[in-house]
Amino acid sequence: MACWAAAAHWAIPRCNPAAPLAPGEGLGTLTVDGNLTLAQGSLLDFEFGAPSVDFSTPGSSDSVSINGDLAINGATLTLNDTGSFGRGLYRLFDYTGSLSGSNGGLQLASPDPSYGLQYLTGDKQINLINTGGTTLNFWNANGLASGTTQGGGDGTWTATNSVWTDASGSVTGPMIPSPGFAIFAGDAGTVKVSDVDGAVEADGQ
């Protein structure tokens, strides 16, 4: 079964490794009406364009929107730069049902330390993060960040307050390195900045 699709809507429930799944000519979103299973050995061929103005909004890229469950049972994603692929967040999948996986789930065809996959099961999203070689700091004043959801919330940013975490939500602490790249996502809130413990700086946000 060929998995290439240029149409805006698709009703094929299972993608087998006969041909890459490519959402179409140029950048665009493929909508799947129903569940989607990516069988072991499935190939994904996505194009990536310019990033958005911040890491809270997806940049321009191919993506797949599933009106149902998503099962990734050993698929490989190839990243194709259209010429403006840069540091930012890019949406790969969103789904309305549940997410499951086996055989390694989703892997990058050419692993690079600047690229990481973000699984937000609370938001029902899978994203690609292009760090551009920069260490990213995610705002986590409410302490709710994890590998499946963003943090956010109200808090005070000082040189020593533990209000920052990494993309996986595994460690919360002060901004490291400082100045670093600040990302505000998750629950809305008020961020107060105080220099009571020293200068507060960021090299981008």
SS3 of 149-163: the string is CCCECCEEECCCCCC
Q: Tokens representing 113?
A: 């330390």
pLDDT, residue 168, reads 81
pLDDT, residue 4, reads 43
Q: Hunting for tokens 């220099």 — which residue is that?
A: 195
> Sheet of 106-108: strands edge to edge?
42-48, 75-81, 106-108
Encode pLDDT of 138-178 as tens digits: 899 999 988 788 888 999 999 999 999 988 888 889 998 88
Q: How many helices (H) and strands (E) does the chain have?
A: 0, 20
pLDDT, residue 2, reads 40
Average model confidence (pLDDT) across the chain = 86
Encode pLDDT of 59-105 as tens digits: 999 999 999 999 999 999 999 999 999 988 999 999 999 999 999 99
How many alpha carbons fall within 13 Å on the CB side of residue 86?
8
b/e for 168-200, b at 16 or more Cβ within 10 A? ebeebebbeebebbbbbbbbeeeeeeeeeeeeb
The identity of residue 20, as a single letter, is P
**Is the pLDDT confidence value at 6 over 60?**
no
- Contact between 12 and 24 under an 8 Å Cβ cutoff? The reply is no
Q: Give the start-to-end residue ranges of the domains of the chain.
A: 9-130, 134-205
**Is the pLDDT confidence value at 195 over 50?**
yes
